[in-house]
Amino acid sequence: MSLPGAISSAAAMADGLPVQIIEEGVKEYPKPENITFTYGTAGVRTKGAVLESVCYRIALISALRSKRLGGKTVGLMVTASHNPEEDNGLKAVDSRGEMLEASWEAYCTQAVNASTAQELVSVLENLISANKINLSTPASVVYAHDTRPTSTMLIKAVAAGLATMGAHITDAGLKTTPQLHYLVKALNTQGTEDAYGEPTEEGYYKKLSSAYLKLVADKTSATATPPLIVDCANGVGAPALLSLLKHIPEKHLTIKAMRTDTKTPGVLNNGCGADYVKSNQRLPAGYEKDISYVPGQWMCSFDGDADRIVYYYLRGPPGQKDSFRLLDGDKIASLAADYISELVKKAGIELQVGCVQTAYANGSSTKYLKQRVPVTCTPTGVKYLHHAAERYDIGVYFEANGHGTVLFSTSAQRAFKETSPASPAAEDALHQLTALAELINQTVGDALSDMLLVEVILRARQWGPEAWDGAYEDLPNKLLKVNVKDRFIFKTEDAERRLVSPPGLQEKIDEVVGKYKDARSFVRPSGTEDCVRVYAETSLAGELDSLAKAVAKLVQDSDA
């Protein structure tokens, strides 16, 4: 902490905000001119080099958030996920380990854009009075960062902001995003009957591995030979995976970790990682020569902060046309929802298992799921999916990009433990459900925990790649980016499936889509990049390009 005179006691703040120290902080971490930041679906995300002022200011807000929640611990994660290495970002985590309460996002945006210290103080004062925050309540914040080179400098600004507010701080160091979410929840439930786990990184590995070992102990492995090849995106998922594996005997999980270089500049997410594989629908660059391919070999990719995972395999030798097969977030959701709803039936308990997707979910996956469980569609962004999933007793949610998890309500978890089983099969199902609720990171999508979940189900089903892949055939689909003058004029309704603005554009899109057989297309502004995204899906592969281009052209023309 380099700021002089930082106060260490919350009580000293009873009379109001430490205005003088905030002024010094704003001077030490000046807001770059000519940049407008937005706190959106994934917090603030942009070039790491310009983010110190954002980190200092969001830290102030986090301390207020903790005070608002009666001193519970909240979290801050420094990461830009799957973005290029020079990007970075900051995301706030609420006390139950979920995303920051949406109504606070606007205050974050105002605070990071305030041009003077006075303006910043008045944003904070508005927040304090609108939320009736008692400044003398203590604050507690835990923060962590990924492997990006700018992370070290940015966590210093975070620490300075927290010190300004006299918050109790825990520097969790290098962590995956889901580990930070886990820590927040574990810290706040420690010592209660809902204790989520030991609030340490080691506690996280112990929780996941012991649940996994309970679930696979008596199963022979469908994936152990050949080993599962894991692309760690050269990010924080690499050390985390290696630490997790220390808790799991090799006979229960054999892994070959690839793209684990967290030191060489420029390699993070570069030609590898879940986003690269999903967007390009191909193997990580260089795999053709780096892996010795064995038929039936499973592969998966994490993203840069290890909160996404996609699986894939090859139907023929690497490089051969059409041999690459992707098993994305939709396929994982289908695998999990199908398996879990079956277990619930076997257990003989009355619980509603549901699935939550976004408009990006492949139409075939939605059809497959609807034949098994109720399905809800929400706008893009984890916070929407997460809250919709909470409405089911057991809510499976996944975005097609591989971010997702399963939420078990308190009553569901109680039912697993308290129901008297009617048969040995029902008893086994109840034990499995109990262990699954421990295995799955219920705070947020988690590549490590999701990977173990997939392994458990594949072993239970004794499935190889084709069997899982065969659940349904993805409809051909395409995603295009269109650069426009102002993406904020594009406004959507019906979970982003229809545009309400610019006027008349949706009708034109409907007309174009109507010309193709069983086709679907929608347009939405990106929440993380300055562009509009066009999604198109057709039943006939040969028609896909033409539909996607036609809709993209309509968007371009509307911007003229």
Determine the size of the site formed for ligand 16G (CB under 6 A).
14
Q: How far is the CB of 240 from Mg ion (least distance, A)?
A: 13
Interacting span for ligand 16G (CB under 6 A) from 275-283, 388-396, 512-520, 528-536: 528-536
Q: How far is the CB of 399 from Mg ion (least distance, A)?
A: 11
| Interaction residues for ligand 16G, span 451-480 (CB under 6 A) | none
Q: Is 307 annotated as a binding residue?
A: yes
Q: Is 275 annotated as a binding residue?
A: no
Q: Is 95 annotated as a binding residue?
A: no
Q: Is 225 annotated as a binding residue?
A: no
From Mg ion, ligand 16G, none, which one binds at residue 270 (CB under 5 to 8 Å depending on kind)? none
Q: Sketch the per residue contact string, 72 through 101, with ligand 16G: x for CB under 6 A, - otherwise.
A: ---------x--------------------
Q: Is 399 annotated as a binding residue?
A: yes
CB 129 within 8 Å of CB 222: no
Which residue, 305 or 450, has its beta carbon nearer to Mg ion? 305
Cα dihedral 22, 28, 29, 33 sign: positive
42 binds ligand 16G (CB under 6 A): yes
41 binds ligand 16G (CB under 6 A): yes
CB 354 within 8 Å of CB 392: yes
Rg from Cα positions in the chain: 24
Q: Which of 53, 62, 81, 341 is catalytic?
A: 81
81 is catalytic: yes
Q: How far is the CB of 528 from ligand 16G (least distance, A)?
A: 4
The CA distance from 451 to 190, in Å, is: 26
Task: Name every residue whose Cβ is closer than 8 Å to that of residue 13 and which is 6 or more positions away in sequence.
Answer: 7, 135, 136, 165, 166
Out of 288, 466, 518, 529, point to the residue binding ligand 16G (CB under 6 A): 529
Beta strand 520-525 with 532-537 is antiparallel
Q: Is 305 annotated as a binding residue?
A: yes
From ligand 16G, Mg ion, none, which one binds at residue 469 (CB under 5 to 8 Å depending on kind)? none
What DSSP letter does each residue of 486-512 carry, written as one string? Answer: -GGG-EEETTTTEEEESTTHHHHHHHH
Provide the binding-site residues for Mg ion, judged by CB under 5 A: 81, 303, 305, 307
From Mg ion, ligand 16G, none, which one binds at residue 303 (CB under 5 to 8 Å depending on kind)? Mg ion
Query: Whose CB is nearest to Mg ion?
Result: 81
Label residue 521 left, alpha or beta by phi (over 0 means left) and psi (-120 to 50 means alpha): beta
Cα dihedral 43, 47, 53, 59 sign: positive
Cα dihedral 22, 23, 24, 26 sign: positive
Bridge partners, residue 412, by sequence: none
Enumerate the H helices of 371-464 as residue ranges: 382-389, 410-418, 424-439, 447-461
From ligand 16G, Mg ion, none, which one binds at residue 380 (CB under 5 to 8 Å depending on kind)? ligand 16G
Q: Is 524 annotated as a binding residue?
A: yes
From ligand 16G, Mg ion, none, which one binds at residue 386 (CB under 5 to 8 Å depending on kind)? none
Q: List the 404-408 sheet strands across, edge first.
A: 375-378, 353-358, 394-398, 404-408
Q: List the 44-47 sheet strands across, edge first.
A: 44-47, 87-93, 73-78, 140-145, 168-174
Q: How far is the CB of 473 from ligand 16G (least distance, A)?
A: 23
Q: How far is the CB of 165 from ligand 16G (least distance, A)?
A: 25
Which residue, 303 or 438, has its beta carbon nearer to Mg ion? 303
From ligand 16G, Mg ion, none, which one binds at residue 305 (CB under 5 to 8 Å depending on kind)? Mg ion
381 binds ligand 16G (CB under 6 A): yes
From ligand 16G, Mg ion, none, which one binds at residue 526 (CB under 5 to 8 Å depending on kind)? ligand 16G
Of 57, 44, 130, nearest to 90 by C-alpha is: 44
CB 215 within 8 Å of CB 435: yes
250 binds ligand 16G (CB under 6 A): no
CB 541 within 8 Å of CB 487: no
The CA distance from 397 to 409, in Å, is: 14
Task: Name every residue whose Cβ is closer than 8 Å to that of residue 89 and which is 6 or more positions away in sequence.
Answer: 42, 43, 44, 45, 46, 51, 78, 79, 80, 81, 83
Which residue, 83 or 413, has its beta carbon nearer to ligand 16G? 83
The CA distance from 115 to 53, in Å, is: 11
From ligand 16G, Mg ion, none, which one binds at residue 348 (CB under 5 to 8 Å depending on kind)? none
φ, ψ of residue 397 to 5 degrees: the values are -130, 140
| Interaction residues for ligand 16G, span 402-441 (CB under 6 A) | 403
Which residue, 307 or 469, has its beta carbon nearer to Mg ion? 307
Q: How far is the CB of 290 from ligand 16G (least distance, A)?
A: 28
Q: How far is the CB of 92 from ligand 16G (least distance, A)?
A: 11
φ, ψ of residue 172 to 5 degrees: the values are -80, -5
Q: Is 381 annotated as a binding residue?
A: no
DSSP code at position 268: T
Q: How far is the CB of 197 from Mg ion (least distance, A)?
A: 21
**Residue written as token pair 């692309």:** 231
Q: Is 400 annotated as a binding residue?
A: yes
Q: List the 532-537 sheet strands across, edge first.
A: 477-482, 532-537, 520-525
Q: How far is the CB of 189 from ligand 16G (least distance, A)?
A: 22
Which residue, 353 or 385, has its beta carbon nearer to ligand 16G? 385
Tell me the one-letter amino acid at 175.
K
From ligand 16G, Mg ion, none, which one binds at residue 459 (CB under 5 to 8 Å depending on kind)? none
Task: Name every residue whose Cβ is closer than 8 Å to that of residue 503 and which is 6 or more positions away in sequence.
Answer: none
Six-digit token pair at 174? 């290098």
382 binds ligand 16G (CB under 6 A): yes
Which residue, 24 or 450, has its beta carbon nearer to ligand 16G? 450
Chain contacts with ligand 16G (rule: CB under 6 A)? 41-42, 81, 380-382, 399, 401, 403, 526-529, 533
Known binding-site residue numbers = 81, 303, 305, 307, 399-401, 524-528, 533
Q: Please enumerate, by residue number, every residue annotated as part of a binding site for Mg(2+).
A: 81, 303, 305, 307
Residues with catalytic function? 81
Binding-site annotation, residues for substrate: 399-401, 524-528, 533
